[in-house]
């Protein structure tokens, strides 16, 4: 029997209403459900802690926006099970399916008619005085910025041990192809096709106008060193996790050994998504 895990955006009324319809619809098709404990309480069903859902299911459905999807990708990465996103948020670059088309698409997903795309993930480590303080695995991006006061600061960059340059900027973004349509795009970075094997490094408001985004192979290791006199510097991961950095801290970014497997609606292609979400061709 197929087991489907369901993770909902907390505090989202639409997610709970959809969950009430989705659970019996799946059970009618002999599919067992495993709901995150918070959402399960909302519909008076037994649930499982979010961090344990991946251990109990064959695929995960996410009811929410891209933020909920990013959190889910970190939960299931080590299990290599596919994720299907249902968009209840805003843009929805990763959660591609709307409520109106939901059940038709799910029918194709559960019968294996929709393809899965493997998306690379980033592995980011914080190194201080030669010791690794923390390591994170994320789908979208690794961002280094100042805290409350937006002042430029120095970031020294090395790629595969070779010195690149010292950026004077408001910050730096290292993004996966999936994350290229997130913060990196807002900072002037390019859109990368999501299944490419590369990273984009995007300076945020660089003091030197010739410092432009750089695209590198995903087998390279990027090291960013926080420059002297840099106070209140913060590392943010997927816009959801983070920690403070100190002068001379090193943020090392490389490709993770884990991938995110996204189930893609059969009729969709990436350029259609770009046209819809970015309003290309509209006047």
The separation between CA 236 and the C-alpha centre of its own chain, rounded to angstroms, equals: 12
- Tokens 């945020």 found at: 204
Give the 3-state secondary structure of the chain. Answer: CCEEEEEECCCCHHHHHHHHHHHHHHHCCCCEEEEEHHHHHHCCCCCECHHHHHHCCCEEEEEECHHHHHHHHHHHHHHCCEEEEEECCCCCCCCCECHHHHHHHHHHHHCCCCCEEEEEEEEEEEEECCEEEEEEEECCEEEEEECCCCCCEEEEEEECCEEEEEEEECEEEEECCHHHHCHHHHCCCCCCCCCCCEEEEEEECCCCCCCCCEEEECCCCEEEEECCCCCCEEEEECCCEEEEECCCCEEEEEEEEEEEEEECCCCCCHHHHHHHHHCCCCC
From 36, 52, 58, 66, the catalytic residue = 66
Is the separation of the CB atoms in 252 and 199 below 8 Å? no
Catalytic residue flag (residue 36): no
Q: CA–CA separation, 158 vs 143, rounded Å?
A: 16
Is the separation of the CB atoms in 30 and 1 below 8 Å? yes
Active-site residues, by number, are 66
């Amino acid at each position: 029997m197929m087991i489907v895990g369901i993770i909902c955006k907390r505090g989202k009324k639409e997610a709970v209403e959809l969950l009430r319809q989705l659970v019996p619809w799946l059970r009618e098709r002999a599919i067992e459900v495993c709901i995150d404990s918070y959402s399960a309480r909302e519909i008076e069903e037994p649930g499982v802690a979010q961090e344990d859902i991946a251990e109990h299911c064959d695929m995960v459905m996410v009811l929410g926006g891209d933020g909920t999807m990013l959190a889910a990708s970190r939960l299931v990465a080590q299990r290599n099970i596919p994720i299907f996103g249902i968009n209840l948020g805003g843009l929805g670059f990763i959660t591609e399916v709307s409520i109106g088309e939901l059940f038709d698409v799910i029918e194709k997903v559960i019968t294996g008619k929709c393809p899965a795309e493997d998306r690379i993930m980033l592995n980011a480590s914080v190194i201080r005085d030669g010791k690794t303080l923390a390591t994170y695995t994320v789908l979208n991006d690794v961002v280094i910025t100042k805290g409350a006061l937006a002042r430029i600061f120095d970031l020294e960059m090395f790629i595969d041990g070779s010195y690149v340059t010292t950026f004077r900027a408001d910050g730096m973004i290292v993004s996966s192809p999936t994350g290229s349509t997130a913060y990196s795009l807002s900072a002037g970075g390019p859109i990368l096709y999501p299944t490419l094997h590369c990273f984009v490094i995007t300076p945020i408001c660089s003091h030197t106008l010739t410092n432009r985004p750089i695209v590198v192979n995903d087998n390279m290791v990027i090291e960013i060193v926080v420059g002297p006199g840099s106070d209140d510097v913060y590392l943010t991961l997927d816009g959801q996790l983070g920690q403070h950095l100190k002068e001379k801290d090193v943020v090392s970014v490389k490709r993770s050994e884990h991938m995110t497997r996204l189930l893609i609606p059969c009729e969709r292609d990436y350029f259609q998504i770009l046209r819809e979400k970015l309003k290309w061709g509209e006047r």
